[in-house]
């Protein structure tokens, strides 16, 4: 049985040689969600992925760019009807972006409301020091029956992960999340039926080099023991989870 690798959050368009990155994903047995940081980049990415069944393209408005790209929420909303995938969006409360949080909240609320109005969307969410607030905004503005949300690079606590799982969230895990004992503990606490893999490439490193989508294999190897299974069983499980996630249609 065909069990592809899954990279459910990467930035193929930000690779130095992005055309080669897209071409490699077309050739390889790998399923990817490539995300955009601005809605202006979305159309080009759709063209680069055209004809591929295995490359999904997310329409995004990165919270780190909200201070300079606030106005792009209008463009995001106008493109949304054409995109099943929304990525990446969210809230960044880290030291560098903390002061733009009020603007980020306005933008993210509009994203969630628009997704709720249209229904059937799959979101990949960036949340830095904001897991609890993101869960509460999902609860208020985007009911589970209207969309599915994936926490990308989840950086919250065990109890925040539990709260996210309770509102139906999935989690895409990467190698950086397996580096410290406390983050490994969070990964181990995730419900296995909600676990996906990702690289956030090219922004992470694998074996000292900039990551590429196929590096999810090293994440499978490192994460599998946390779930008491081997890498190939986790690989199969992640692919089942993607299929379950994507079977979602709104009522």
The residues of the shown chain that bind Mn ion, judged by CB under 5 A, are 200
Collapsing DSSP states into helix, strand and coil, what is residue 37?
A: coil
Task: Write the DSSP string, 139-207.
Answer: HHHS-TTTEEEEEES--S-HHHHHHHHHTT-EEEE-GGGGSSHHHHHHHHHS-GGGEEE---TTSSEET
| Residue 165 C-alpha from the chain's centroid | 15
Residue 14 vs 178, nearer CB to Mn ion: 14
Nearer to Mn ion, 13 or 200 (CB): 200
Rounded to a whole number of angstroms, the minimum distance from the CB of residue 152 to Mn ion is 6
For residues 170 and 164, give the distance between their C-alpha atoms in angstroms, rounded to a whole number: 8
DSSP at 211: -
CA distance 12 to 140: 32
Of the pair 134, 237, the CB lying nearest Mn ion is at 134
To the nearest 10°, report the CA torsion of 201, 205, 209, 214: -50
- Shortest gap between Cβ of 153 and Mn ion (angstroms)? 7
Instruction: Check if the beta carbon of residue 105 is closer than 8 Å to that of residue 141.
Output: no
- For Mn ion, which is the closer residue by CB, 7 or 200? 200
Nearest position to Mn ion, beta carbon: 200
Instruction: Tell me the CB-side half-sphere exposure of residue 91, using CA atoms within 13 A.
Output: 25
User: Please, what is the minimum distance in Å from the beta carbon of residue 32 to Mn ion?
Assistant: 13
CB of 1 to Mn ion, least distance (A): 30
Looking at the Cβ atoms of 90 and 222, the one nearer to Mn ion is 90
Smallest gap from Cβ 35 to Mn ion, in A, equals: 6
**Which residues on adjacent β-strands are paired with residue 209?**
206
Closest CB to Mn ion among residues 9, 121: 9
Q: Which residues contact 220 (CB under 8 A, 6 or more apart)?
A: 5, 197, 231, 234, 235, 238
Q: How far is the CB of 201 from Mn ion (least distance, A)?
A: 9
Closer residue to Mn ion in complex, CB, 33/237: 33
- CB of 98 vs Mn ion, minimal distance in Å: 19
Neighbouring residues of 13: CB distance < 8 A, sequence distance ≥ 6: 34, 36, 41, 44, 45, 48
């Amino acid at each position: 049985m065909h069990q592809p690798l899954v990279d459910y959050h990467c930035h193929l368009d930000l690779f130095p040689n992005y055309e080669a990155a897209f071409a490699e994903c077309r050739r390889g047995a790998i399923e990817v969600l490539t995300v955009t940081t601005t809605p202006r980049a979305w159309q080009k990415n759709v063209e680069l992925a055209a004809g591929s069944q295995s490359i999904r393209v997310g329409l995004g408005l990165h919270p780190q760019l909200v201070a300079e790209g606030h106005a792009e929420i209008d463009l995001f909303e106008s493109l949304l009807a054409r995109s099943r995938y929304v990525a990446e969006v969210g809230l960044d409360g880290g030291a560098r972006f903390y002061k733009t949080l009020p603007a980020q909240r306005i933008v993210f609320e509009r994203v969630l409301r628009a997704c709720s109005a249209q229904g059937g969307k799959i979101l990949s969410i960036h949340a830095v020091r904001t897991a609890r607030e993101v869960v509460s905004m999902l609860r208020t503005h985007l009911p589970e029956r209207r969309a599915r949300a994936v926490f990308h690079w989840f950086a919250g606590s065990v109890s925040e992960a539990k709260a996210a799982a309770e509102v139906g969230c999935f989690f895409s895990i990467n190698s950086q999340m397996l580096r410290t004992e406390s983050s490994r503990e969070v990964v181990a606490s995730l419900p296995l039926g909600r676990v996906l893999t990702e690289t956030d490439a090219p922004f992470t490193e694998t074996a000292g080099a900039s990551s590429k989508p196929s590096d999810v294999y090293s994440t499978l190897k490192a994460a599998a023991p946390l779930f008491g299974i081997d890498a190939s069983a986790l690989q199969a499980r992640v692919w089942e989870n993607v299929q379950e996630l994507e079977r979602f249609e709104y009522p």
